Structure 1
Amino acid sequence: MAVTTRELDTSKAVLDLVSRPPDLDVLELLHDLTAYAAAFLPVRAGITVLDDGGDVTYLTASDEVSRRFQQDQLDLDEGPCLDSARSHDALPVILFDSSQAARRWPRFTPLAQGAGVIAMAAIPLHTPELMLGALNLIVTGPPLPTQRDLHLAQVLTDAAAQALTHRRDMVGREETIRQLQTALDSRIVIEQAKGVLAAHLKLTMDEAFTLLRGHARATQQHLTVLATRIANRDLPDALLDQAR
């Protein structure tokens, strides 16, 4: 049986996630996880995590719709992303026009429907010793993810978790937790950098992030380092040239 392009690309994605260097950028790794999920599955994607106080917060998302979807749940303290991160359990595909969704999340369900989200699923993100949170799969149109799609999402999530496990083995559990908290702090800087780029170059927030992420990769910089520079209104000439 011939190998399809999708199978080859997903194999490369798994290899990319699992083979990060010991000094990996946690935020960059988990953003790439959401990007791969959105690329290979009929979903948008986001990551919610447990911070060092045990509270759920969002870390990254594949796009602004996903980011808003997660933030709305945090604002309401209700929703599937929070449930999955707190329970440490996988969440099967749940339709937001179902009575099950309305009963579980009476305030969030109509908000999700109004935003065009029709269904949701979640995959736990954890290492052998640490429950970190969940990969959230957000469906805004048909088709719905199949069971095979959810299995692929689990494989991608496990690959990212393996990279974090290797990092933990190198630097220890406490350092891994500290780096996760640093990633949460870095998320704020990246949002600021996206805003600077969007305003300066008249881009959408999604376009601004694509530019930011692409330049970080092209110049082999950590995403957070580049975002900090841009948030301080220091825009690299090469990045501006790339945007023209």
Structure 2
Amino acid sequence: MAQPERDERLARAFIELADTLVGGFQLVDFLHVLTDHMVELLEVDAAGVVMVDARGRLVDVTASTHTVHQLEELQLEFDEGPCRDCCLDHCVIPPVDLTTRAAADRWPRFTKAARTAGFTAVAGLPLRLREEVIGAVNLFHTTPDGLHPADLRLGQALADAATIGILHQRLSNDQAERVSQLQTALNSRITIEQAKGALGAHLDITPDAAFTLLRAYARSHSRSLTQLCLQLLEGTLHFGLFAQSDKDKHPGG
């Protein structure tokens, strides 16, 4: 990414992550914006977010790819991994080379799953404000040395901006609404998963490719990703809208 383009994207990222006091705020859409910026600005291969629910449990909320969604769920199932350590210790998890024995000893099942998925490095950034940690962001890379210290510092700045935005938004709600917001985000995640599965089956493409088409359409039309997926499942939005976009990406297909 050229420097002027990167600077423009960086400015837009911080503006978007501060813009939470708006009508119709959707947590899952907001976190998709965060992962999109993380992937593009830090030049990582994928990113995912887990959040702390009202009972103090970690829940998988969003990810930039279907594969990372699965890895986030495995972290929670195995009770091991960078997001878990990040939230437990309230600190950054520096890049871990998953090809090493140390990684296998630290997170044996997660490391094996991540390596099988093609990732060789991972890091964790807390979503925190002072002593309060509300979740964490995982960054995944396919090369062991792909996560640089300067990029991690920028990633933490983005995570901090997102945390402040979320906490400001929560302050405008009562406790019941705060709990409901995270549950709505989890429900939205299911809707998105179902929509990308349906679109993938219709176009005979992978879930990740379907997800890319859905996100691109939502972004280019300034639409909520959740509402877009819901309309697709309800039949008020037609699969044909995405067939042309898929042809544009694969003109030889």
TM-score of the aligned structures, taking structure 1 as reference length: 0.87
Task: Give the residue type in structure 2 aligned to 1:91.
Answer: I
1:112 aligns with 2:124: no
2:152 to 150, 153, 171: 150
Worse overlay, 108-117 or 168-177: 168-177
Q: 1:200 to 1:104 in 2, by over 3 A?
A: same
7-16 or 210-219, larger mean C-alpha shift? 210-219
TM-aligned CA deviation for residue 122 of structure 1: 0.7
Q: In the alignment, which of 79, 82, 98 is matched to residue 81 of structure 2?
A: 79
- Are the equivalent residues in 2 in contact too, given 1:86–1:133 (CA < 8 A)? no
CA displacement at 1:227 relative to structure 2: 1.5
Shift of 1:126: 3.0
Which residue of the partner structure matches residue 250 of structure 2? none
2 CA distance for matches of 1:162 and 1:83? 21
The answer to whether the Cα contact below 8 Å between 2:71 and 2:110 also exists between their aligned partners in 1 is: no
User: Which of structure 1's runs of 4+ aligned residues deviate more than 6 A?
Assistant: none
Residue in 2 that maps onto 1:134: 136
- Larger displacement relative to structure 2 (126-135 or 57-66): 126-135
1:131–1:47 CA distance, 2 compared to 1 (3 A): same
Cross-structure match for 2:183 = 181
Counterparts in 2 of 1:69 and 1:81: CA distance versus 1, 3 Å:
same
Q: Would you say 1:211 and 2:213 are equivalent positions?
A: yes
User: What is the match of residue 38 of structure 2?
Assistant: 37
Q: Please identify, of 121-130 and 221-230, the stretch whose mean Cα deviation from structure 2 is larger.
A: 121-130
State the shift of 1:168 in Å: 1.9
Q: Distance in 2 between matches of 1:237 and 1:79?
A: 37
Structure 2: gaps spanning 5 or more residues: 248-253
Structure 2 CA distance for aligned equivalents of residues 4 and 219 of structure 1: 24
1:141-173 Cα offsets, whole Å, 9 max, x none, are 254212111110011112212221221232245
Give 2:15's aligned residue. Answer: 15
The CA distance in 1 between the partners of 2:185 and 2:157, in whole Å, is: 23
Residues of 1 paired with 2:68 and 2:118: CA distance?
11
* Structure 1 residues not aligned, in runs of 5+: none
Amino acid at match of 2:8: L
- C-alpha distance in structure 1 between counterparts of 2:147 and 2:108, whole Å: 24
Task: Return the offset for 1:241.
Answer: 6.6
User: What whole-Å deviation, never above 9, does each CA across 1:159-215 have from its counterpart, x for those lacking one?
Assistant: 212221221232245423321221012101110011111111222212212222233
Deviations 1:71-126 (A, max 9, x none): 22233232222222333322111111233322221222223223222111111113
**Structure 1 SS opposite 2:59:** strand
In structure 2, distance between residues paired with 1:107 and 1:213: 31
Measured at CA, do residues 21 and 236 of structure 1 come closer, stay the same or move farther in structure 2, by a change above 3 Å?
A: farther
Q: Does 1:198 align with 2:200?
A: yes
Please state whether the residue corresponding to 1:107 is helix, strand or coil.
Answer: helix
**RMSD between aligned residues:** 2.4
Identity of aligned residues (%): 39
Kept in 1: contact 2:121–2:147 (CA 8 A): no
The answer to whether the 8 A contact 1:56-1:86 is kept is no
The worse-fitting range, judged by mean Cα deviation, of 179-188 and 217-226 is 217-226
Amino acid at match of 2:234: N
Partner of 2:95: 93
Q: CA deviation at 1:129?
A: 7.9
Q: How many residues align?
A: 242
Rounded to whole Å, the distance in 1 between the matches of 2:108 and 2:243 is 48
Say which of 39, 62, 65 aligns to 2:64. Answer: 62
